[in-house]
């Protein structure tokens, strides 16, 4: 095996002291099982190439959480084209959320999720706090409907799931359909929002817009 072959991922680590996410390049060398890390913001080496037996090639896919010397990293994207080409068809994880208006239809929604190639690896029914709801909808912070959306999403229980499949983020967005359920019924009539949603707020299900949002 070529000991210089390497796979590069963009990873995030939540720094509890600074209350922010720090971003790194994580390099994995499958030939000898060594790892290397670079601080993206400060353009410096964070960890020199070091053999590390607790990380394996099968652990490396978008959305997964890996521990490197006791630091939990979330893999949010590929770091170069070679890694994307070689590992891009591997499985990814993403978040799937059933909103309060569709919890009563959870059985039908979960059946559709399973039939479309996803594997549900975690599932939890919960009530979201306002802060949790804001974190889930970080991509909508500047939207005029944000307050209505947060009020709705915290009005009843939701079902949060971690789902796994190849190209999970894109495939989950495809299964969701357009954000407005009325538009979904026209443009994607077999989508979850078309079948179970009402409008642009009460649209049954939610999914992150990007690898980074999914990983968080």
pLDDT number for residue 184? 96
pLDDT number for residue 26? 98
- Which positions ≥6 away from 42 have C-beta within 8 Å? none
Q: Which residue has the higher pLDDT, 147 or 176?
A: 176
pLDDT number for residue 119? 93
Which secondary-structure segment (H or E) carries 28?
A: strand 20-29
Q: Please give the radius of gyration of the chain, using alpha carbons only, rounded to the nearest integer.
A: 19
> String of b and e for 138-172 (b: at least 16 CB within 10 Å)?
eeeeeeeeeeebbebbbeeebbbbbbbbebbbebb
Is the per-residue pLDDT at 214 higher than 70? no
Q: Specify the length of the chain in residues.
A: 216
The domain spans of the chain are 7-88, 92-215
Assigned CATH for 92-215? 3.30.70.141
Is the per-residue pLDDT at 93 higher than 80? yes
Is the per-residue pLDDT at 42 higher than 70? yes
Q: Which two tokens stand for residue 61?
A: 């896919």
pTM over 0.85: no
Quick one: pLDDT band at residue 59, thresholds 50, 70, 90? Answer: very high
CA distance 111 to 145: 31
Is the per-residue pLDDT at 144 higher than 90? no
Quick one: pLDDT band at residue 2, thresholds 50, 70, 90? Answer: low
Q: Which two tokens stand for residue 55?
A: 């990380």
pLDDT digits (tens, 9 = 90+) for 157-177: 999 999 999 888 889 999 999
Q: Could you confirm whether 43 is annotated as catalytic?
A: no
pLDDT number for residue 1? 55
Across the chain, what does the average pLDDT equal?
A: 90
Quick one: pLDDT band at residue 62, thresholds 50, 70, 90? Answer: confident
pLDDT number for residue 204? 96
CA distance 189 to 181: 9
CATH topology (fold) of 7-88: PH-domain like (2.30.29)
Which residues partner with 186 through β-bridges?
Answer: none
Is the per-residue pLDDT at 216 higher than 60? no
Marked catalytic residue, from 43, 56, 137, 206: 206
pLDDT digits (tens, 9 = 90+) for 111-141: 999 999 999 999 999 999 998 888 777 766 7
């Amino acid at each position: 095996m070529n000991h210089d072959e390497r796979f590069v991922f963009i990873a995030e680590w939540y720094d509890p002291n600074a209350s922010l996410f720090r971003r790194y390049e994580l390099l994995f060398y499958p030939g000898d099982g060594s790892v290397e890390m670079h601080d993206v913001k400060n353009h410096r080496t964070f960890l020199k190439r070091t053999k590390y037996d607790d990380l394996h090639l099968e652990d490396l896919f978008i959305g997964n959480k890996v521990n490197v010397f006791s630091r939990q990293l979330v893999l949010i994207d590929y770091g170069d084209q070679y890694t994307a080409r070689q590992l891009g068809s591997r499985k990814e994880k993403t978040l799937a959320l059933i909103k309060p208006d569709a919890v009563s239809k959870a059985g039908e929604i979960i059946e559709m999720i399973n039939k479309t190639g996803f594997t549900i690896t975690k599932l939890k029914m919960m009530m979201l706090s306002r802060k949790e709801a804001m974190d889930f909808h970080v991509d909508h912070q500047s939207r005029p409907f944000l307050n209505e959306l947060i009020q709705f999403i915290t009005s009843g229980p939701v079902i949060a799931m971690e789902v796994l499949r190849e190209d999970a983020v894109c495939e989950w967005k495809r299964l969701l359909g357009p954000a407005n359920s009325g538009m979904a019924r026209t443009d994607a009539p077999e989508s979850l929002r078309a079948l179970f949603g009402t409008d642009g707020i009460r649209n049954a299900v939610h999914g992150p817009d990007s690898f980074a949002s999914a990983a968080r």
